[in-house]
Amino acid sequence: MKPGVLSKTPTVKPAVPMPKLSPSAWILLALLPVLAVAPLVLPTYQVTLANNIGIFALATLGLVLLTGVAGMTSFGQAAFIGVSAYATAYLATVSAADLPGPLAWMAGSPLAGLAVGLVLTFAVATVLGAVTLRLSGHYLPLGTIAWGLSLFYLFGNLEFLGGHTGLSGIPALSLFGIAFDRAEALFYLIWAILLLAVVATLNLLDSRVGRAIRALRGGQRMSESMGVDSFRAKMTAFLVAALYAGLAGWLYAYTQRFVSPAPFSLQAGIDFLFMALIGGVGQVWGAVIGAAGVTFAKQWLQDLLPHLLGRTGNFEAIVFGLLIVLLMQRLPGGVAGWIAKVFERRRHRPTGAVDDVDLPAAEPLPRREMPAKGEVVLEAKGVTRRFGGLVANRDISFTVRAGEILAVIGPNGAGKSTLFNQLSCVDHPTSGEILFRGERIDGRTARAMAGAGLSRSFQHVKLLPTMSVLENVAIGAHLRGSKGVAAAALRLDRAEEARLLDEARRQLIRVGLGQYLHVEAGSLALGQQRILEIARALCADPCLLLLDEPAAGLRFLEKQALAELLVKLRSEGMAILLVEHDMDFVMGLVDRVYVMEFGERIAEGPPETIQTNPAVLEAYLGGVE
Amino acid sequence: MNLQIVMLLGQDGITNGAIYALLALSILLVFTVTRILLIPQGEFVAFAALTMAAMQGGTPVRLGWLLLALAAAALVMDSHAAWRRDGRIAVRRGPALGVAYAAGLTALTTLVPLAEAGVALQALVTMALIVPLGLALYRVFYQPIAAAHPLVLLIVSIAVHVVLVGVGLLMFGPEGARTEPFSDGGLRLGMVMLNSQTIWVVAVSLALILGLYLFFERSLYGKALRAAAVNRLGAELVGISPELAGKASFALAALIGSLSGILIAPITTIYYDSGFIISLKGFVGAIIGGLASYPVAALGALLIGQAESFSTFWASSYKEVIVFTLILPVLVWRSLSHHGAEDEE
Amino acid sequence: MIAKKLAVSLLFGAFAVGAALPADAQVKVGVVTSSTGPIALVGIPQKNSVPLLPATVGGQTVQYITLDDGSDPTATVAAFKKLITEEKVDAIIGPSGSPNAMGVIQFAAESGVPMLAPVGTAAVVLPMTEQKKWVFKTTQNDDLIAEALLEHMAKAGIKSVGFIGTADPYGDNWQKVFGEGAAKRGIKLLASERFQRQDTSLTAQGLKILSASPDAVLIAAPGSSSVLPQTTLFDQGYRGKIYQTHGAALPDFLKLGGKKVEGTILAASLMLVLDQVPDSHPSKKIASDYVAAYEKQNGSKPATFGANVYDAGLLLERAIPVALKGGEPGSAAFRTALRDALEQVKELPATQGVYNLTAADHSGFDERGRELITVSGGKWTLVK
């Protein structure tokens, strides 16, 4: 920590003597000794099961990230395992003479198998992701069903992969002189890789990229307007999931030492999805629970059902399916989700004090060069928007300057929302121009504008209810960081991450939510959620704030605090445009008011003159609200 | 490849495509009304075909027991819900009638030999078994979670499919079955002999598509279902309950599925697990239709039928690879014509 | 918390398995079948045949522990390991599928447990390797059946054949074996088409075969999937000779095919034509008894897949008394002795034919393991 940092931060933080252990760290600490002795005390068969569980859990971990966290469903996980397992098996069994000269060294090399397996998985996933991830949610599951099926049939038809009978005779794995020929030895390898993957996933989720991925589920419009590239985030999750499957495939080939098409069928893809959901949507440890749960459930059913039903056979699948239905009806969050919820209730109750104990102070992020006070930041020139025959905005022109608050008001149906959408680049004018700091921005994406310094809030609050307040706000600072997936997984992003979180903390304290940093955003009152949105917008270091009804749902004192905040921002040179219903709030605060009715301007000027403008009075008092 | 082969392959493609089209339509119907991807759609097809075959072969018809079990489960769930709501157990008429119906039909199909009853009556009994089965599936498995995230609905769909395939293996055994054709002979059109069953398939499919069109465009129930598909809340406000809409769409899907099964049972061997792969091709059709457009979905399904037929001729071992890879260009095209990020509710 | 859960489940898993262990059995035999999943049609008759296996051999009671692998090779490996390490079985009968069997050979061999595989592919015993020494195959090798068909074809003057097979290990192996045999006899393979068991239409394959106009067609498909190619060809007007493999040797073939499969020629074990084989045939009585017992128990006639498991029981019945001299059941010495004894089985009549095992041949059938059968008047008829 640099010596000058403390003086720059608004609140002085107490030193943190010992880092608090996260629940995952506790789980790891508890799990390690169990795993260390397990192969020594368990019979071989149990170790074999544990190995299978480890491999399944690795593939399921990818699905937890993809399905649980990012909200995308894929049946393709088994097929990805297959790609990698077949690549591994092929290279392990092929003779050097059968490979083209420069590649001959790959024959029999487990590491070459791993590399080729991962590269192939990556390549296939890239193509598949590119064509399905831009589409709405149901295309990915159906697309992966189709591709999983065609890959399954392809495996069976390729002569050099052993056709439907499969490739046998894979030698035992030997890495750097260590032979992994027995289930017990493989156990350590598999579980070490699995735990590393779990830790990497936890790290990834607790980072800038991780927040972007977590925002995919229900927060795409919001995160896009904060500069997050949703498609890229989806692709990241999809590729990481595929690579985990690739790793699992490599382990699978060396554990079974035989590959055939059947284990990579669609049925297996379905099983992985079951594991992810039983374990828990969005719970990283749920992957392990789910894989273990499904594996053991199948074992138990096979052992118990004949006793219960008095006859053998064929009931397992039925009972298993019914259990899944019941689980989905009773515990849609899965087992780990349920456990996490129970724990979550006990932690993080707001105490009234600023709750930033576990946050180290960090060097503030660099700020953008702000426009000089009085400079025109936003300009609308003859903006017209038609929907078919309906003209929602006709010839709207105004300017917003740095250090000024402009309010756009008007009765319901006046076209304010349409205008707001165009200003925030969600929608685009039919004719006319919108200029931001002198550049035309109509036609550009909301994401591009976030980077340019235009930041917004939403009329209907858009936040991620299960994420903490701090993390929600940190999404606003997405573009002010640059570290990627690898850095996040390996924790090389900590310095930057600390600066991002510190910025979020600073903005939250600034807007008066300092005591709620670690509570779930969804547990805040509506008014507080609106304030959170402003903090989030501020986190992007904007020079223009677009606020959509910021005072709606706020209590009197909260409104006062909001007004003070906006006044302060104005004095710092921020340009603010707000669309508002609340006249009292607007009149005491803003510099100028722009009044709309039926999509057209009816008045513009300082609040005092607007209040007495006959056209405005007519629109508000004479019209039906 | 000469012209005659092209004609024969085309005819084959149309026969299969017509079935896929029917399935694509019912998948689409259920999806738009309930947001459920009806993975078990194929089981309706397989169960109908195998039930017909069981009747004709004089082997025990066991489907009634499944229906009875589901009806009983529905009754229990309903009473349980009543108990939680009012604090006392009440048996409502609907579910009780359901159990009575299922019991009656089970008795009929197990006690009365239907082997000589004739195709029409057998088909009728089969549909009388399958259509309420669709309804009961919705009631027992989906209705309690109708408002859940689409992902949860999808998982339940798959689980129901797994359960039904397991039950199918128990009820019908692992070997396949086929039924007698509706009529013998065929129709000669130029140089091509049209198989009579092909004519049946195409004619019934067309009639069904026309019927669906009339139902949705003209009848009050059809319009209500469409309304429910467009706006659930709105439909509820004007008195169309989502439960009713869900049950109706499932019953329709089961009707279409059972008809498809009855239609193809004479021309092929159907196994207890055949339904899935058949309905998947319906899904591909529905995807081509963007999960929204009925005519495009039907055309897409017909296209799949043709693609399947010709690709089999070209390289039979790669048929499935080709058919399921066909979906990729469709996705690419949809992907390119799609803009922006949307949140799914 | 979660770690504890996992530990508990691991322990409980061990307990549940431990609890299922009865203590009184003397010889333990594991059975792994695919009684669910895509190859359930093979696995179910196999599972149903288990209760018919000998209950006492050489004064020892035999306990059979049946597991289902759901047609999944991964589950087969787990089931084998469970049987070997938990149940400490002396031998394993199974699995049902060829890939499943290929995947477990090494594990059976590593732990020294003889494995009697009722699967089609000869690859489980050929070429003989150190590991495959532990594997015995209780079905006729495909080439034995193919040889009979080829002989018939050669006699009938057939010069060219079209092939339709399932896209699975069965079809794969038949295409290979028949292709090689046909080449030796100068019979041309004109078209080679594949299909999936669940395909609803084989029109295109049929057209492809027809347009190649071969002298005869061979259909290689397991179970009732062997019917659709033949009825399709019939509907398309093909009236030439159609040959089937032993995969079609089941009652459903006639039921599903009806008039359209009249005249089919197939080579299979004598089970289909028991009433027509002379009483002198060494297998006749055994097969009749098996069919009767199976029918009594299950209410239907068995497919040959079940008989393959029954034969495995007969092999064990012959070998166990010999092996008992080598060691106590449950010991490695016993298992090795059992393997050695199995390899020494000579002239053992079983339902499928007569076994003569040697160190090089772990399938051990000769021409008594196949009959040429045709369909005539809606019935299986022995070709004399």
Q: Please give the full DSSP string across A395-434, using - where no structure is assigned.
A: EEEEEEETTEEEEEE-STTSSHHHHHHHHTTSS--SEEEE
The distance in angstroms from the start CA to the end CA of chain C is: 73
B147 touches chain A (CB under 8 A): no
Pull the structure tokens for residue C165.
Answer: 């097979």
Which subunits count as partners of chain A given 3+ CB pairs below 8 Å? B, C
Contact A378, A434 (CB under 8 A): yes
- End-to-end distance of chain A based on CA atoms, in angstroms? 57
Per-residue burial over A231-269, b if 16 or more Cβ lie within 10 Å, else e, is bebbbbbbbbbbbbbbbbbbbbbbbbbbbbbbbbbbbbb
What type of residue sits at position A563?
Answer: A
Look at the alpha carbons of A559, A561, A566, A567 in this order and tell me if their dihedral is positive or negative. Answer: positive
Using CA atoms, how far apart are residues B51 and B159, in angstroms rounded to an integer? 22
Longest dimension (CA), chain B: 74
How does pLDDT run across B15-68, given as a tens digit for each residue? 899 999 999 999 988 988 888 889 999 999 999 999 999 998 888 888 999 999
Domain count, chain B: 1
Q: May I ask the CATH class of domain A374-453+542-625?
A: alpha beta
> Where in chain A are the domains?
43-265+280-285, 374-453+542-625, 463-541
**C228 neighbourhood in chain B, CB within 8 Å:** 268-269
Interacting residues of C80 by C-beta distance below 8 A, sequence separation 6+: C30, C32, C92, C104, C107, C108
Cα-to-chain-centroid distance, residue A335: 21
Calpha distance C107→C127 (Å, rounded)? 18
**C-beta atoms of B273 and C198 within 8 A:** yes
Sheet of A390-401: strands edge to edge? A390-401, A376-387, A431-436, A439-440
Judge whether residue B246 has pLDDT over 70: yes
| Chain C CA closest to residue A313 | C35
Find the closest chain A residue to C69 by CA distance: A302
Cβ burial, residue B286 (10 Å; 0-12/13-18/19+): buried
B152 touches chain A (CB under 8 A): yes
What share of chain B in percent tops pLDDT 90?
Answer: 28
B307 to chain A, any CB pair closer than 8 A? The answer is no
At C219, list the tokens: 């259909």
For residue B46, give the H/E element and its range.
Answer: helix B41-57
pLDDT of residue A438: 87
A35-49, A195-209, C184-198, C238-252: range with lowest mean pLDDT? A35-49
Q: Does C25-140+291-366 match C142-268 in CATH topology?
A: yes
Tell me if chain A has a CB within 8 Å of the CB of B76.
no
Helix (H) or strand (E) holding A379: strand A376-387
Nearest to A292 among C9, C78, C121 (CB): C9
Out of A135, A146, A317, name the one closest to residue B284 (CB): A146
Element (H, E) at A624: none
Find residues 11-70 of chain B whose CB sits inside 8 Å of chain A. 31, 37
Residue B170 lies in a domain: yes
Give the mean model confidence (pLDDT) for residues C170-185.
89
Kindly state the average pLDDT of the residues B319-328.
83
> What is the band of C16 on the pLDDT scale with cuts at 50, 70, 90?
very low
pLDDT at C18 over 70: no
Tell me if chain C has a CB within 8 Å of the CB of B342.
Answer: no
* Whether residue B180 has pLDDT greater than 50: yes
Q: Is the peptide bond before A3 cis (omega within 30 degrees of 0)?
A: no
Q: Do A150 and B163 touch (CB under 8 A)?
A: no
In contact, B200 and B207? CB cutoff 8 Å: no
Binned average pLDDT, 10 residues per bin, chain A of 625 residues: 39 44 77 84 85 93 88 87 94 83 80 92 90 77 83 86 84 84 88 93 91 87 88 93 95 91 87 83 82 86 71 73 86 71 57 60 81 89 88 90 91 86 89 90 86 88 87 90 88 88 89 85 86 91 90 85 89 90 84 89 88 82 53
Q: What is the DSSP letter of A520?
A: B
| Amino acid letter, residue A284 | V
- Give the domain range for residue B49: 33-61+114-272
Write the residue in B37, B156, B162 that is nearest to A317 by C-beta.
Answer: B162
Whether residue A317 and residue B149 make contact (CB cut-off 8 A), yes or no, is: no
Give residue A188's pLDDT: 92
Residues with Cβ < 8 Å from B271, sequence gap 6 or more?
B46, B174, B175, B176, C197, C198, C224
Distances (CA, A) of B96 to A69, B83, B105, B248: 42, 16, 14, 19
> How many contacts (CB atoms, under 8 Å) link B and C?
90
- Tell if the CB–CB gap between A166 and C47 is shorter than 8 Å: no
d(CA B171, CA B68): 14
Q: B interface mutation test: which of C200, C205, C219, C304 has the most B CBs within 10 A?
A: C200
In this prediction, residue B296 has a pLDDT band, given cuts at 50, 70 and 90, of confident
Which helix (H) or strand (E) segment holds residue A394: the answer is strand A390-401
- Contact, A66 vs A132, CB < 8 A? no
Q: What is the mean pLDDT of residues B282-310?
A: 87
The proportion of chain C whose per-residue pLDDT surpasses 90, expressed as a percent, equals 28
What residues contact A459, with CB distance under 8 A and at least 6 apart?
A417, A420, A548, A549, A552, A579
Q: Which of C74, C88, C89, C177 to mutate to test the interface with A (most CBs of A within 10 A)?
A: C74
C142-268 maps to CATH 3.40.190.10: no
Question: Do A46 and C5 make contact, defined as CB atoms within 8 angstroms?
Answer: no
Token duo for residue C164: 């339709």
**Residue-level pLDDT at C90:** 92
Contact A328 B156 (CB under 8 A): yes
In this structure, chain B runs to a length of 345
Q: Of C10, C13, C98, which is closest to A165 when you measure between CB atoms?
A: C98
Instruction: Give Cα separations from B40 to A359, B142, B168, C262 (angstroms).
Output: 51, 12, 12, 37
Q: Positive or negative, the Cα torsion across C254, C256, C259, C261?
A: negative
Q: Please name the helix (run of DSSP H) or strand (run of DSSP E) that holds residue C92, with its range, or none.
A: strand C91-93
Alpha carbon distance C195, C188 (integer Å): 21
In a domain, B302, yes or no: no
CA distance C329 to C335: 7
CATH, domain range C25-140+291-366: 3.40.50.2300
Instruction: Name which of C70, B291, B309 is nearest A262 in CA terms.
Output: C70
Tokens matching residue A271: 């099983």
pLDDT of residue C113: 93
Beta strand A404-409 pairing with A431-436:
unpaired
- Which residues are CB-contacts of A116 (< 8 A; sequence separation ≥ 6)? A87, A88, A91, A106
On whether residue B128 sits in a domain, the answer given is yes
CA distance B49 to B177: 8
- Per the structure block, which two tokens stand in for C292? 């009767």
Amino acid present at A80 = F
Give the closest-approach CA distance of B59 to chain A in angstroms: 20
Domain-wise residue ranges, chain C: 25-140+291-366, 142-268
- DSSP state for residue A138 in the 8-state scheme: T
SS3 B195: strand
| CA dist., res. C370 & res. B108, Å (int) | 45
Q: Pick the residue from chain C with its C-alpha nearest to A338.
A: C2
Give B341→chain A minimum CA distance, Å. 6
Average pLDDT, chain B: 85
How wide is the angle at C-alpha A225 spanned by C-alphas A221 and A230, nearest 5°? 60
pLDDT for residue B236 = 73
Helix (H) or strand (E) run with residue A455 in it: strand A454-456
Contact status of B8 with chain C (Cβ, < 8 Å)? yes
Which structure tokens are listed for A229? 């590239």
Judge whether C137 and C122 are in contact, CB under 8 Å. yes
Q: What is the pLDDT of residues C51-92, one digit of tens each?
A: 999 988 888 889 998 888 888 888 898 889 889 988 889 999
User: Searching chain B, which residue's CA lies closest to the CA of residue C198?
Assistant: B274
pLDDT classification of B339: cutoffs 50, 70, 90: low
Residues of chain C contacting A260 with CB distance shorter than 8 Å? 73, 99-100, 102-103
What are the start-end ranges of the E strands in B38-170? none
